[in-house]
Structure formats: C-alpha cells, structure tokens
C-alpha cells in the first residue's frame, strides 16, 4: 500500500495548479466557523451553563467565542492564515473535549470541521484572495503578481481523499445495515419526521415514491463510486453535480444546515482546479474598461495600483506606467479623454469594477468625496517600488515543499508512510463500527484484546483527526421513534403559548437548529425516552427560552405535550403532512419555583409506548 501511495505522490506532487480553489474553500470554511461561533454566543447559556442563567459556566467562554469568531473572520479574508488555522484547530479540540459540545450538543459536523481544520494548517491557503498576500505586496511595493501563486495538485487531491472519499465509503457501508436505506428511503424518512425537517414544504417531492426510491439508491451508488471515479475526468462532472445537489438538498430540506453547507462548500476542492480558471475567464471582461496611469517610481501610486489590482476580480482595469506623471495621485481618462485625478479617478474606476458601484456613488456625493480623498496613502520616501515577484508569508506548506525540493526521495518515503497511517486509522474506524459492532463481535471474549485496542485507537483518531463513523440516521435511530414532545408556557394572560422552540406542527423552529436540534431530537427525545435525560433537557430548554420570553424562574409554569408519529421503513403517501397535523395530548407539566425545577409526567408515559397512528 505504501508503494502505491508513493507512486501517486510522485505523479501529482510536481503538477502545478492554481490556488484559487484553496482560497475559495478557505473563505467558505471561515464562513462556517464564523456563523457557528455566533450561534454558540447566542445559545451560550443553553449550551455551556449547567442551568441556564442560574448556574453559570466559566465566565471567559464568551471571550473565547469572540476570539474564535475573529479567527473565522481572518480565514474569510485571509489574514494571518497560519496563526488562524492553528488557533481554529486548537479551539475545536478544546471546545469539543471540555464542554457539553462533545455529547449533549454535538453538531453532527464537528469531526468533519476538525479533519478539514487539521488539513488547512498544512495547505497554502494564502496564495490567492488573501490579505496576507495584499499586505506583503504593499510592504514590498510589488506590482506584479507572484508567478509562484500556483500550488501542487496534492493540495486538492489529498483533502478530497481523506475527507470526502473516506466519509462516503464509510457512510455507504453503514447504510447497508439500515432497512429503510436498503428500500431506497434513506432521504425520504428524515424528511418526513417533524423534528428534522426545515420550514420548506417538500411534500410534492416526498409523495413521489419512484423519485424518492431513485434518490435513495442514487445516494448509495454515488457514495460507493465517488472514491473510485472522482479523479477520472469523464466521470467528474456527473459526480460533482450529484454530490453538490445532495448536500445542497440537505441544507434546504433538513434543519442540520451546518453539516450540509460545509459538505457543499468542500466541493470547492473537489472541482478540478483548472475549472476555476475557465470560470474566471467567463465572468471577466474580455478587454479592460478603463485604463489607469501611474508613476512607477512613486510609492504612493504603486500602493494604490496594488490595492486596485487585488480587488479587481473581473479584470476591468488596465494599468500603464506614465513617467511624465508628476502628480502624487494616479489618474485616468473620462469619456472626453480628459485627465481625472484623485477622487474623480477612483469614482470612475469603482464604477467600472461594477461590484464597487456603491463606493463610486459615495465618492460622487459632494463633500464626502473630497473628505475621503484626503486619506490617500502617504508617500514613503524610503521605499523603492520593485517589479519582481514576491511570495506571501511563509506557511507550513512552504517548509514541507522546501524539504521535498532538497530531498525528493526521502520526503516522498516519509510522506507516504504518514498517509498510510491515515488510511489504517480510517480502516480501523470503519471495521470497528461497521462490522465488529454491527455483528456483535465485540462481545466475543476471544476478540476482546483486539476490540479494546481498536477502541483506543478510534478515540485518538476521532479526537485529533476527526475520523469518525458516519452512521447517521440509520434504522437504530428511527426504529420505534413514534412520538414527539413539545412545550407550552403559561403567559401573563393566563393562557398557554408555544415556547419558541417547537411549534404547533412539531417542527423545531429557527434558530434552534444544528446543536440544539441534536440535543433534543437525538438525545432527549428518542425511541427510548429516559426520564432523567428528558428532565435535564426540559430544565435547560425551559430555563433558557422561558427567560427569553420574559418569564421569571421564581414562578414559571409549563405544559408538556406529546403526539404520535410514524417512522416506517416502507414508503407511505403523505407521511410528512400526517406527522405534522397529528393531535397533541398533555402528558405532563414542568415548573420553576424559587429557581428550582420539577416535572410531573403521566404514570403511563414511561411505562409503555403510545399506539401507532392508523391511517
């Protein structure tokens, strides 16, 4: 296996491709990190407090979350990329291992974020579309873009293999154990369960049995074939369309949008790198719309040129040097071929760049334009413009690449051994959970030493590399899931109202998606509801949302409702609407008196399951 991997490395490591896809993925990954930290800040009392607003968590958690949000923003704009990737990886490890985010509030995509974050530390994500590159060019007064912006093809293929290919293969094997997946209903069943659906009504799609079964089987076939055909050019368009559609559909139809989005965004790396160049040519202007003249020996004008170059995504500007320009500002020509300097020149430039049209309008406002124009970049007499290429700040990728250039054979040998280790770790996880546990072989005393060692390795790879079993929404999750709960609170008008958590249909409403949904629908309310678990979840939800709606925890009353649903492994017409429109029944109550929480349930609630609905 090592020889096979080493051969693949030799064939791809010297292939140079554009870094645009890496930059796009960096921005999208940072966007997920940023939105997730904002989500955690909003729900910080629910997630991190043992009892929301009563027993507070570590007081510095909000500061760490704000710092994490800044890290996400740095990834979006590409500033301090190496520091941001390392910090992001460490923050995922800390929050997932030392806070309730690990078990109670698992997001379902945390391990994928860890795996992606780990790889980002070693990728040259600052080669394009980054402020690191911009500031480096400004410091060196480098007008020309670096010719070495290109990166090795391995920067694309390795993340796709170790994140997408491994995930799909593992997930497909697990799906074969689930009856509803074998029936082609793997996408249909979660989309018919009130707790998992979004506000988008897709009944018209779910009620087409042939289409639903086709989608289910296509997903399984896609996941099995993706690792073998994604790098074959003739199959790439089809696999990319199916995969992107799959994850975009998850984002729109289910309320686990962070998982769907990060998987959808990862296709920025799965797309062949040269496609980004083709797309750029398609959306760029065939010829520049405006020409900007500058004095190449004037540092202030050179800095302005660098800034405009960096943000001119559609190649609307052509730059020409003019040694006869003795002004401190660059200039351009208007329609009458008259020279326009300073603010007037920027107004014309921003107008032709199109997406900066608001800036053009702002500069054209009397009084505001001249005021902004005074804040031009100061002339630095000690700096001399250069026209040689310059690299952005060094990242780990550069150190590894330099080792390869110095000792290619030795580097490939060591690198192939590391990649072999990753393959073995993934095989260990898949075999352990998809076969040993499914076949109950872990209970065999003769295999106890093997299973114990495998479990220890799984814990380490799961924690630090994000290698995890992808057994999501299988038969053991939905089998017997025939009742859901909701909560109402007693308002000041002495009437009961729906807590802004689960609505009258039984849907978990925004913004209670992602982690909060996982806590309630995957841990508290399950096919086998445990009184201790549901009581703890109720105390958190009622304390958090009760306080948000204006209740005082010294005297607050809640009503717990339940209604039957169905989660069959066979297709049924209009199941989504039937599950949403079923009748509610009061099965208990909850109270907060003097900051103390208590619940009361009907005697029969935990003794037997309610009868299934008949249609």
Q: CA–CA separation, 602 vs 586, rounded Å?
A: 9
Find, among 313, 366, 516, 205, the residue nearest to 524 by Cα: 516
**Helical H segments across 385-438, by residue range:** 396-406, 408-431
What are the pLDDT digits (tens) for 230-241? 999 999 999 999
What are the pLDDT digits (tens) for 75-120? 999 999 999 999 999 999 999 999 999 888 988 899 999 999 999 9
Extended beta strands in 364-495, E state: 483-490
Q: At 335, list the tokens.
A: 């329609």
The alpha carbon dihedral of 190, 170, 263, 216 has a sign of negative
pLDDT averaged over every residue in the chain? 89
Statement: residue 187 has pLDDT above 60:
yes
Q: At 586, list the tokens.
A: 């009061």
Q: Are 497 and 489 in contact (CB under 8 A)?
A: yes
Strand pairing category for 483-490 and 16-17? unpaired
pLDDT range class, residue 607, cuts 50, 70, 90: low
123-142 mean pLDDT: 89
Statement: residue 19 has pLDDT above 50:
yes
Statement: residue 368 has pLDDT above 70:
no
What are the pLDDT digits (tens) for 389-431? 555 667 889 889 889 989 999 999 999 999 999 999 999 999 9
Q: Are 356 and 350 in contact (CB under 8 A)?
A: yes
What's the pLDDT at 385?
Answer: 54
């Amino acid at each position: 296996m090592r020889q096979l991997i080493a051969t693949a490395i030799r064939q791809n490591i010297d292939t140079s491709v554009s870094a645009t896809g890496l930059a796009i993925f960096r921005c999208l990954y940072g966007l997920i990190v940023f939105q997730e930290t904002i989500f955690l800040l909003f729900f910080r009392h629910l997630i991190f407090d043992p009892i929301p607003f009563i027993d507070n968590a570590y007081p510095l958690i909000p500061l760490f979350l704000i710092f994490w949000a800044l890290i996400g923003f740095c990834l979006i704009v590409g500033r301090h990329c190496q520091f941001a990737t390392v910090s992001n990886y460490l923050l995922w490890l800390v929050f997932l291992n030392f806070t309730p985010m690990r078990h109670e509030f698992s997001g379902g995509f945390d391990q994928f974020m860890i795996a992606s974050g780990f790889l980002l530390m070693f990728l040259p994500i600052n080669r394009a579309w980054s402020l690191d590159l911009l500031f480096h060019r400004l410091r060196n007064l480098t007008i020309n873009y670096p010719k070495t912006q290109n990166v090795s093809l391995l920067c694309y293929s390795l993340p796709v293999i170790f994140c997408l290919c491994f995930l799909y293969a593992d997930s497909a094997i697990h799906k074969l154990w689930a009856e509803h997946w074998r029936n082609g209903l793997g996408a249909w069943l979660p989309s018919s369960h009130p707790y998992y659906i979004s506000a988008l009504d897709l009944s018209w799609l779910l009620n087409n049995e042939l289409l639903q079964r086709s989608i289910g089987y296509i997903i399984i076939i896609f996941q099995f074939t993706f690792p073998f055909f994604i790098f074959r050019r003739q199959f790439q368009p089809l696999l990319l369309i199916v995969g992107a559609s799959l994850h975009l559909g998850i984002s729109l139809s289910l309320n686990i949008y962070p998982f769907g989005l990060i998987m959808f965004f990862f296709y920025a790396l799965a797309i062949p790198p040269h496609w980004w160049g083709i797309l750029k040519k398609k959306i760029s202007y065939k010829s520049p719309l405006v020409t900007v003249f500058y004095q190449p020996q004037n540092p202030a004008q050179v800095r302005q040129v660098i800034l405009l170059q960096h943000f001119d995504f559609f190649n609307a500007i052509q730059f020409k040097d003019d040694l006869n320009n003795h002004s401190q500002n660059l200039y351009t020509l208007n329609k009458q071929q008259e020279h326009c300097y300073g603010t007037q020149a920027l107004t014309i430039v921003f107008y032709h760049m199109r997406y900066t049209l608001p800036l053009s309008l702002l500069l054209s406002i009397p009084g505001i334009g001249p005021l902004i124009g005074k804040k031009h970049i100061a002339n630095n007499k000690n700096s001399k413009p250069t026209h040689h290429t310059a690299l952005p700040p060094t990242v780990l990728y550069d150190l590894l690449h330099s080792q390869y250039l110095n000792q290619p054979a030795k580097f490939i040998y060591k690198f192939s051994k590391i990649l072999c280790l990753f393959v073995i770790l993934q095989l260990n996880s898949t075999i352990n959970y998809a076969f040993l546990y499914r076949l109950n072989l872990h209970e065999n005393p003769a295999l106890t030493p093997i299973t114990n060692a495998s479990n220890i390795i799984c814990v380490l790879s799961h924690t630090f590399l994000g290698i995890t079993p992808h057994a999501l929404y299988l038969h053991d999750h939905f089998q017997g899931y025939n009742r859901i709960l909701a909560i109402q609170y007693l308002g000041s008008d002495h009437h009961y109202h729906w807590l802004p958590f689960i609505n009258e249909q039984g849907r978990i409403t925004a913004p209670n998606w992602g982690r909060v949904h996982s806590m309630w629908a995957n841990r508290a309310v399950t096919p086998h509801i445990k009184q201790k678990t549901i009581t703890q979840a109720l105390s958190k939800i009622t304390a958090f949302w009760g306080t948000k709606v204006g209740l005082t925890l010294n005297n607050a009353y809640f009503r717990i409702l339940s209604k039957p649903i169905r989660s069959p492994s066979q297709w049924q017409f209009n199941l989504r609407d039937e599950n949403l429109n079923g009748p509610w029944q009061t099965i208990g109550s909850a109270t907060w008196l003097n900051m103390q929480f208590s619940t009361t349930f009907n005697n029969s609630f935990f003794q037997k399951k309610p009868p299934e609905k008949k249609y």
